[in-house]
Amino acid sequence: MQKWRRKQNAVYLAFIIPALLFFCTFFLYPFIKSLWLSLTDAYGYNPRQHFIGLKNYAEVLKNPGFLNSLKVTLLYTAFVTVVANLIALGLSFLLDGNVRFKKIFRAVFFLPNLMSLIIVSFIWVFLYGSVYRSFVDWLRIPEDFWISWLGNRKMALISMGITAVWQCAGYYMLIYIAGLQNIGRELVEAAQMDGAGTWAVIRYIKFPGLIPVIGMNSVLLITAGFKTFDIPMAMTSGGPAGATTTIALQIYNTGFRSNRTGYATAQAVILFLMISCLTGLLYRFQGRGEEKG
Amino acid sequence: MKSGRHRTRSRGLGITVVTLLIALIFFFPVLIAVINSFKTKGEILASAIALPAAPAWENYVAVVAATDFLQVFLNSCLVTGGGVLLNLAISSLAGYGLARWRRRWADLLTLLFLSAMFVPFHTIMIALLTTARNMRLTGHLWGLILVYCGLQCPIPVFLIKGFSGSIPLELEEAAMVDGCGIVRMFFMIVLPLLKPILATTAVLNVLWIWNDYLLPYLILGKPLTIPLSQMYFYGQYNQQWHLIMAGFVVSTIPVVLFFLLMQKYIVNGIAAGAVKG
């Protein structure tokens, strides 16, 4: 019997090995290598690197380019997290009510999420450029009131944020709809029986029931926001004058444009530390909120 | 009773109109892309919001030829299909193995897979590319498939492990008492039971790989997949929005069809997040 068990365990181990091999080659090894590279003066793909201690990290924390990208990323993430959450919540309340053609509406709101971010970005470049100009011409708005959507330092980040919200809101809406369906029908019906109106039901039953889901969506939105790359790369290449250069784009530029791979990896490790601290904190915070509730 | 029903119906109409208006705003960018893909260059210059005099189908013909669309589309299908299927094969084996292997090692390995979810792609990007170059994987579609297969692992392995744990052991033991080996039992009994979770992870990974830009760009270096080809085309045909928009429409149609076919799995897969939270 024991021999049989041992044989069985060997089979289970054999089942795990292929995935483990792939995982170690394309994730674990590059991850450990990243930690090492961030401590070296690696340049391009030159295999010769020298250990330079924490010099890269010291430089990152003093570098105005990196600090700027950190600021840009934080502002962008805050904007997208708040606005996308609000819109997704609103849409989910609408579609949870007695709307007709629910499935069609759900598909329409989700549609942008199916498109590649590259395509989404270019469509919005077109909207902010040609389409906006056509509208302005058509409505004969005087030039003084024109908005430079992507050319203005302050506006460009918001324009990018609007694009991101349009693309992702449908995704978070689906999570909220599922969350609303988890709230017992009986609870809602009982409240309605007691004379609660639509608003009261939303305010006192549906919204409190969704609080854990709001927490989770915020974690997802914040981590996605910190990793934003495609939209600024395609829409503005990080401009004007670095106003939309996110951390991910900054890492890319440092590593592949300036070829300072060691230094870029130090920035990338800092990104990793920020994201893991943030998610850890948020999950902890969320867990405590649930215990209280 | 009658008046109550009438009231809910009319209220349903009001909310439907509100939703319709918001849906129109949401749909506007897509509509603009579609309309302008049927216009001539001159018509777009004159106005980007007017309708075309006659649909300019020649835009589509030009784009399909210029981007070698059929080849690029097949490449995208190959990378997406290959990456997802290979990943499902190794992930289901590993997920099941981890669920059944009663050793402390199994928990440690699960934790290792799980911790990968905290690491952003950009953190390992440079080292991963170096690894891929050293393994001579760059520039090849199959190289990209192998890299995706490794990068996708963590979530499917974790989900499948959880799901396998809920399969009653008696079922497997009964099969083995009847003289069925573990490997055969896995394919005959466990795999069919895993179908729902496999379908869900597969469709979500399909959407991810199909639209991914950065990794294919780094690994392939040539515009071989749809997002790369669109990016390249945009650079080449600067300001020729009639062609660019036609390219966007053609490249988005396959994924919309996929959504319509797989809607149930996609919605369930995303909604699973709400239950987890």
pLDDT tens by residue, chain B, 277 residues: 344 444 555 567 888 888 999 999 999 999 999 999 999 888 888 888 888 888 888 889 988 888 888 999 999 999 999 999 999 999 999 999 998 887 788 888 988 888 888 899 999 999 999 999 999 999 999 999 999 999 988 888 988 988 888 888 888 878 777 777 788 888 888 888 888 889 888 988 999 999 999 999 999 988 999 999 988 888 888 778 889 999 999 999 999 999 999 888 888 888 876 554 3
pLDDT recorded at residue B204: 87
H or E segment to which residue B173 belongs: helix B169-177
- Taken in order B44, B50, B53, B57, the sign of the CA dihedral is positive
Residues of chain A with pLDDT under 70: 1-4, 286-293
Q: Do B130 and A19 touch (CB under 8 A)?
A: no
| Closest chain B C-alpha to A153 CA, distance in angstroms | 23
Q: How far is CA B7 from CA A187, B2, B15, B81, in A?
A: 22, 9, 12, 50
Instruction: Write out chain A residues lying below 8 Å of B133, CB-based.
Output: 45
**Bridge partners (DSSP) listed for residue A9:** none
Considering CB atoms only, which of B119, B245, B272 is closest to A272? B119
Choose from A7, A11, A12 for mutation: most chain B CBs within 10 A: A12
**What is the pLDDT at residue B275?**
52
Instruction: Give the C-alpha separation, B254 to B225, whole Å.
Output: 13
Query: Which residue bears the tokens 């389409």?
Result: A131
Residue B35 sits in the same domain as residue B149: no
Side-chain half-sphere exposure of B190, counting CA atoms within 13 A: 30
Same domain for B123 and B219, yes or no, is: yes
User: Where do the structural domains in chain A lie, given as residue ranges?
Assistant: 55-292
Instruction: Spell out which residues of chain A touch residue B127, defining contact as CB-CB under 8 Å.
Output: 29-31, 33-34, 37, 265
Q: Are residues B12 and B142 in the same domain?
A: no
**Tally of CB atoms within 10 A around B204:** 21
Q: Is residue B150 part of a domain?
A: yes
Query: B269's torsion region: left (phi>0), alpha (psi -120 to 50) or beta?
Result: alpha
pLDDT in the model for residue A130? 87
Put simply, the answer to whether B251 touches A119 (Cβ < 8 Å) is: yes
Task: Report yes or no on B257 lying in a domain.
Answer: no
Closest CA to A244 of A169, A130, A133, A164: A164
pLDDT digits (tens, 9 = 90+) for A176-185: 998 888 887 7
Do B45 and B82 reside in the same domain of the chain? no
Residues in B closer than 8 angstroms to A229, CB to CB, are: 122, 214
Give the per-residue pLDDT at B121: 92
Across the interface, of B48, B124, B182, the residue whose CB is closest to A34 is B124
| Complete DSSP assignment for B183-231 | HHHIIIIIHHHHHHHHHHHHHHHHHHHHH--HHHHHHH-SS-SHHHHHH
The answer to whether residue B63 sits within a structural domain is no
- Domain residues for the domain of B33 are 2-55
Please work out, in degrees rounded to the nearest 5, the angle formed at the alpha carbon of residue A277 by the alpha carbons of A232 and B218. 40
**Per-residue pLDDT, B16:** 87
Please give the single-letter amino acid code of residue B223: P
Peptide bond before residue A240 is cis, with ω within 30 degrees of 0 = yes
Domain count, chain B: 2
CATH number of the domain that residue B163 is part of: 1.10.3720.10
| pLDDT in the model for residue B3 | 44
Superfamily of domain A55-292: MetI-like (1.10.3720.10)
Confidence at residue B253, expressed as pLDDT on a 0 to 100 scale: 93
Q: Look at A175 and B182 and tell me if their CB atoms are within 8 Å.
A: no
- The three-class DSSP label of residue A239 is coil
